[in-house]
Amino acid sequence: MKAKAFKIAEGVYWVGVLHWNGRTFHGYSIPGTTYNAYLVFGEEKTVLIDNVYRNLSDQLYARIEDAFAQEGKEIQIDVFVQNHSEMDHSTYLHETIEKYNPKAEIYASANCAKFLEQQYHNFSDLKINTVATGDEIDIGGRTLSFISAPMLHWPDSMFTFLVEDGILFSNDAFGQHVCYSERYDEDYSLDILGWEAQKYYANLVTLGSPMARMKLQELTDNGIVEQIKMIAPCHGQIWKNPGYILDLYTKWASGVCKDKITVIFDTMHHSTEKLAFQIAEGIMSEGVEVVMYSMETDGPDDVITDILESKAIAIGAPTMMNKPFPRIGSMMYWLDCVNFAVTNSVKNALIFSSKGWGGGAVAKLQKNLEEAGFNVTDSLDIFFVPDEDVLTEAFEKGAQLARSIKE
């Protein structure tokens, strides 16, 4: 096929792929995505940073060859840098090395080298130079500096910094699952990109928030943040205005939230739904923002995105066979996986439920929420269909939850 490489700086090209029809990844819904790889031309060596996902190598190879054509050079890649071994960034790494230079130098973290072999079982025949923070390579007039970034978002992750140009190749950190024809952040609405970056962080990076805080502080203390002119992640748009996404990551990693409450519910015969709507009215009566999700139709990934910046949640499910209604289970597993408490934000939670006779949903939800790091402040457990007195009680509990986040 034919595809054009996109120049992001003199001698630096985006050679990634567009996955226009991707609709799910990492277990959540996406509007398409990109798998970004980058080609850097030094005076002495040419470097490919990262790779792409299955069934998409034709785009990668076409863009690599176009970049060499734009530079007027014969095709030979001298150095391969692999920032992370996950398959969406490494599927064709071995094949690309064989195709463009079997004798090339390869650089990766120690964990990345190990993980590549464990995933593909064909890397033991290649010599991989393992690197960590402070290691550098000179490619002729240009320096690549490596920065260990474990748990952003795998133990093998690292960043590569092109020192002279101020470009941080950050792999999964600072990414977004979007698929657009233009490459930069400034080409699209920051409202949309900010939401997609927030969704990406909430679902994939939250658990690594302690490391994100440490890494952001380290980059600041070492003077690297002030040198960054561009952030080139492995998914989505390239940040020509890096301060925007750096500020967002600082906020998310530190648990900075809005006066906002996310209401999540499922329902059988609409009784729990009625409680949810009244609780939302109570919250709004205190001037606090509400977002509402029904697990019958909404996905946990979007819920998680809003919870990231919420100071509290209200979660409700009817009792079914002495347990919460099963569809709420996916939500609870998701909350336990991401564990927002690691952001240094302990969020309040209100539990509500409608039962027929014995109940059981509230106790189970409380246990699950506490294990996921939430502070359960109140609950409402009713029989069957709420009457006006119960609806008034639900309103008041919503108002009290709202007041609790402002205290």
Rg value, the chain, Cα = 24
Answer yes or no: are the C-beta atoms of 262 and 310 closer than 8 Å: yes
Catalytic residue among 200, 201, 244, 293: 200
221: annotated active-site residue: no
Q: How many CA atoms lie within 13 A of 100 on its CB side?
A: 26
* CA distances from residue 318 to 20, 35, 99, 207, 304 in whole angstroms, order as listed: 39, 42, 58, 29, 21
What pLDDT score was predicted for residue 315? 98
CA–CA gap between residue 266 and residue 305 (Å, rounded)? 18
The model's pLDDT over 327-367, given as tens digits with 9 standing for 90+, comes to: 998 899 999 999 999 999 899 999 999 998 888 899 999 99
Measured between alpha carbons, how far is 170 from 161 in angstroms, rounded to an integer? 8
DSSP conformational letter for 83: S
Catalytic, out of 153, 165, 293, 309: 153
Q: Is the pLDDT of residue 324 over 90?
A: no
Q: 235 an active-site residue?
A: yes
Q: How far is CA 231 from the centre of its chain?
A: 15
What is the rounded end-to-end Cα distance, in angstroms, of the chain? 60
Q: Is 94 a catalytic residue?
A: no
**Domains present along the chain, CATH in parentheses:** 6-240 (3.60.15.10), 261-401 (3.40.50.360)
Q: What is the pTM of this model?
A: 0.96
Exactly one of 53, 66, 235, 273 is catalytic; name it. Answer: 235
19, 28, 50, 86: the active-site residue: 86
Whether 88 is catalytic is yes
Per-residue pLDDT band for 145 (boundaries 50, 70, 90) equals very high
Give yes or no: 270 in active site: no
The partner residues of 47 in beta bridges, in order of sequence, read: 40, 79
Active-site option among 19, 50, 66, 88 = 88
SS3 151: coil
> Percent of the chain beyond pLDDT 70?
100
- 269 a catalytic residue: no
CA–CA distances in Å: residue 255 to residues 43, 217, 344, 362: 44, 15, 5, 26
Distance CA 342, CA 208 (A): 8
